[in-house]
Amino acid sequence: MPILALDTSVGAIVAVVGDDGAVLARAGETVARRHAELLAPLIDRALHEAGLRPGDLSAVVVGTGPAPFTGLRAGLVTARTFGFALGIPVLGVPSLEALALRSLDRLDLTDAPADQVLVLTDARRHEVYWGRYVRDEALGVRAVAGPDVGPAPSLDAAGAVVVGPAAGALGAPVAEGDDAVDPVALAALALARRAHGVPTPTEPLYLRRPDAVPSAAATRVLG
Q: What is the pLDDT of residues 107-149, one digit of tens each?
A: 877 767 788 999 999 999 899 999 999 999 999 999 999 999 9
pLDDT score for 86: 96
pTM of the model: 0.90
Confidence of residue 77 (pLDDT cuts 50, 70, 90): very high
pLDDT in tens, 172-221: 998 877 778 999 999 999 999 999 999 999 999 999 765 555 555 544 54
Strands 116-124 and 23-29 turn out to be unpaired
- CATH architecture of the domain formed by 3-94+180-195: 2-Layer Sandwich (3.30)
Q: Mean pLDDT lowest for which of 48-52, 69-73, 117-121? A: 69-73
**Hey, what CATH topology would domain 96-170 get?**
Nucleotidyltransferase; domain 5 (3.30.420)
